[in-house]
Amino acid sequence: MVHDQTTDDLALIQQITQGNQQALTELYARYARPVFNLALYVLQNRVLAEEIMQDVFLLIWQSPHKWSPEKGRLSSWMMSVARHMAIDRLRHEKVRTSDHTESFDELAEHLGVKTVSVLAEDTALLRSLMQRLPKEQRDVLLLTYFRGLTAAEIAERLQIPTGTIKSRLRLSLEKLRDWWHEAINERL
Amino acid sequence: MGNEHTSAESLEPLCHHLLSMLPSYALGTASADEARAVEALLPLCPDAQVALDDYRLIGDTLLTLSPLNEAPPPVEALLRRLPMKTPAHHAAQKQPKHAVHTLPVAAAPQPGPATHLRQPNGAAKIHSAPERRGPMTANPKPVFQRASAQRGGLGVGAAVAACAALLFVGSQVFWALQIDGLRREQQASLATYTEAITQTLGERLETVANPGLAGADAWVLNTANHHRALLPAESNAEAAKASFVWNSDDQIGALVVTGLPVLETEETYQLWLVRGEGQSLSLGTFELDASGVGVLIFQAAQPIEDYSHIGVSIEPEGGTSMPTTPHLIVGNI
């Protein structure tokens, strides 16, 4: 249950506030894998991904108060921080990733593999909805979210007008939102 | 209230434009200009706030789609990097539980709490649109629902958190802060400012619908602190019509324009203040949305009244420090 998970996470954070390394180790055991793999997916560089993952845990060690239950799940918050740190690193160091759209077929394949279990039901639903999106819209969404590329940057890479990219991004999110609601309604 | 209804209708094109900017903003890739515009307009468009909350939740869930193929390095590598915690360090961390903190990363989102409401039988409850909508209604409830059966009892907290997030974002932009203050403190001058913008938008719509009202010359209406002008006084784009409104107290304003031609990929529109021979001050760049409406919210670095004209030109993407092409439309200040 989320209550238990959040309560456990909160207890760990409180212990980390007191300087308890064992609590940090426990947190690492819980969330290092998804945080590391997310950073690795964004950066496509294991060394940089390890640095980002450690930076996320160091942030929690040094400033555990930055997360609170009001901000959502700790796991989601950590992954969100990791994503931003990774994209920031991409931009700062101009790390060259394979941002050709073909590379995102790989993620489409990954959409069917094991993912973070804590949000398994949400993940499964979104995975199925992502597969329903037209490839061109899914690519733009993934390039935006996991590479941090602006519409203009994607337009330049794909040799497509910026307006078209913006339109595809908007359509992708609108469809996901609509389909999500439909799926929930069908369950009622 | 009739006035509220009218205001909401007048704001519709602005909110429509805001919706077109939301995806990149929600995913953290909006330009600085777009981000400022989004944050300034969000308090005026409750539906957009709801959509933004939904998009962010989609983003949160997208994070969980990344594969888990690789094992992370052993924890010892992390532990070796840990700085020692001192008592002073502990004391410094005892901050108010609900204090707002900024992540040390650019444009980091504020991951919101789950908005899921769960009924006793485990079925998810959906907020219908009519329940959450209303002209200029504050504190809209996110409509996007988590699917997993885990987050019961957080609906009120979600609404409160959403309000807090809204206020936090609003504080980043002066205008948004003013509007927030308007809602909470009922400041008469700000109410007038908002009304002026609303009226201007309404007149723009009226002008668009009735070309006979457009007139060839710009006109300026001066109230105590609010000014507005209809463009063009001169135009190289026959179909272009624009409304320019600003507050001379804080030099904040907005431009709404229609009828400009669609640009090439690497071009953008740029708004200028002009005076004398070639003295120009940029107020920012903007693009047209899918319906052909361009909106720019700006804060001028110098008093707008020190300039004689406003103009819109086509510039390279990202804008320039001085106009490089003739103004497409010009208005008198």
CATH of residue B212's domain is 2.60.40
Taking the CA atoms of chain A, what radius of gyration do you get in angstroms?
18
Please tell me whether residues B125 and B219 are part of one structural domain: no
Residues B45 and B166 placed together within one structural domain of the fold: yes
pLDDT class for A58, splitting at 50, 70, 90? very high
Do B106 and A88 make contact, defined as CB atoms within 8 angstroms? yes
**Measuring CA to CA, how many Å separate B307 from each of B274, B281, B304?**
6, 9, 6
| Beta-ladder partners of B227 | B222, B246
Which amino acid is located at B271 in the chain?
Answer: L
CB contact under 8 A, A71 and B110: yes
* A150 with B143: Cβ contact below 8 A: no
∠ CA A83-A85-A86, rounded to 5°: 65
Q: How far apart are the first and last CA of chain A?
A: 21
Determine the average pLDDT of the residues in A33-49: 90
Does residue B254 share a domain with residue B132? Answer: no
The mean-pLDDT minimum among A91-95, A133-137, A153-157 falls in A91-95
Q: Report the complex ipTM.
A: 0.80
* Full DSSP string of B123-178: PBP---HHHH--TT-SSPPP-----STT-TT-HHHHHHHHHHHHHHHHHTSHHHHH
Answer yes or no: are the C-beta atoms of A146 and A37 closer than 8 Å: no
Domain limits, chain A: 2-93, 103-187
Closest CA to B252 of B331, B179, B329: B179
Within 8 A of B163 by CB-CB distance, chain A residues are none
CA of B122 to nearest chain A CA: how many angstroms apart?
Answer: 9
pLDDT digits (tens, 9 = 90+) for B225-259: 556 666 766 666 777 877 777 777 777 778 888 88
In a domain, B92, yes or no: no
Across the interface, which of A62, A85, A148 has its CB nearest the CB of B29? A148
Residues B178, B306, single domain; the answer is: no
CA angle B113, A140, A109 (to 5 degrees): 85
Is B6 exposed, middle or buried, given 0-12, 13-18 or 19+ CB atoms closer than 10 A? Answer: middle
Sign, CA torsion B28/B31/B34/B36: positive
Quote the CA–CA distance of A79 and A23 in Å, as a whole number: 19
Identify whether B78 is part of a domain.
no
Tell me the two tokens of residue A179.
């389909």
Across-strand partners of B229?
B220, B244
Alpha helices in chain A, H assignment, sequence order: 2-17, 21-43, 46-62, 74-93, 103-110, 120-132, 135-147, 151-158, 162-187
| B77 close contact with A: CB closer than 8 A | yes
How confident is residue A2, by pLDDT bands cut at 50, 70 and 90?
Answer: very low
Are B176 and B219 contained in the same domain?
A: no
Strand order in the sheet with B329-332: B234-235, B329-332, B309-316, B267-275, B279-286
B171 and B206 in a single domain? The answer is: no
**In a mutagenesis test of the A interface, which of B22, B53, B58 is the best target, namely the one with the most A β-carbons within 10 Å?**
B58
| Model pLDDT, residue A95 | 56
Asked if B88 has any chain A CB less than 8 Å from its own CB, the reply is no
Q: Are strands B329-332 and B309-316 parallel, antiparallel or unpaired?
A: antiparallel
Q: What is the DSSP letter of B288?
A: B
B320 within some domain: yes
B285, exposed or middle or buried, with CB in 10 Å at 0-12, 13-18, 19+?
buried
In chain B, which residues have pLDDT < 70?
A: 1-10, 84-230, 232-236
**Residue ending a domain, choose from B157, B183, B209:** B183
* B91 domain residue, yes or no: no
In a domain, B222, yes or no: yes
CA dihedral B299, B301, B303, B306 (to 10 degrees): -120
Q: Are A76 and B63 in contact (CB under 8 A)?
A: yes
Choose the closest CB to A18 out of B71, B90, B108. Answer: B90
At which residue do the structure tokens 């426990």 appear? A26
Same structural domain, B144 and B15: yes
The shortest CB-CB distance from A58 to any of B26, B81, B98 is to B81
Q: What percent of chain A has pLDDT over 70?
A: 82
> Cα torsion for B142, B168, B37, B299, to the nearest 10°?
160
Helices (H), chain B: 2-26, 32-41, 46-63, 75-81, 87-93, 129-132, 155-171, 174-185, 188-209
Verify cis geometry, omega within 30 degrees of 0, for the bond prior to B113: no
Number of structural domains (chain B) is 2
Contact residues, B window 128-147, toward A, CB-based 8 Å cutoff = 143-147
What is the residue range of B58's domain? 2-63+102-183
**Fold of the domain spanning A2-93:** Rna Polymerase Sigma Factor; Chain: A (1.10.1740)
Q: Does residue B206 sit in the same domain as residue B170? A: no
Based on the fold, state whether residues B107 and B251 are members of the same structural domain: no
Dist CA A100 CA B279 (whole Å): 44
B272 lies in some domain: yes
**Domain A103-187, CATH number (from 1.20.120.450, 2.40.50.140, 1.10.10.10, 3.40.50.2000):** 1.10.10.10
Q: Is B95 on the interface with A (CB under 8 A)?
A: yes
pLDDT at B205: 38
Average pLDDT over residues A96-109: 50
Residue B167, domain member (yes or no):
yes
Opening angle at CA A18, ends A14 and A22, nearest 5: 80
Query: Within a 10 A sphere around the Cβ of B184, how many other Cβ atoms?
Result: 10
Quick one: B179 and B42 in the same domain? yes
**Is A103-187 the same fold as A2-93?**
no
Residue B252 lies in a domain: yes
| Calpha distance B256→B268 (Å, rounded) | 15
How much is the pLDDT for A90?
86
- Distance of alpha carbon B153 from alpha carbon B145, whole angstroms: 13
Q: Are B240 and B304 found together in one domain?
A: yes
Q: Among residues B152, B183, B214, which one ends one of the domains?
A: B183
Q: Which of B154, B183, B212 is the last residue of a domain?
A: B183
- Asked if the C-beta of B83 comes within 8 angstroms of chain A's C-beta atoms, the answer is yes
Question: Burial letters for A84-97: b for 16+ Cβ neighbours within 10 Å, e otherwise?
Answer: bbbbbbbeeeeeee
Could you tell me if B241 and B327 lie in one domain? yes
DSSP assignment letter at B112: P
β-bridge partners, B263: none
Question: In degrees, to the nearest 5, what angle opens at C-alpha B109 toward C-alphas B104 and B110?
Answer: 100
Who wins on pLDDT, A66 or B68? A66
Q: Of A37, A84, A173, which has the smallest distance from its Cβ to B68's Cβ?
A: A37
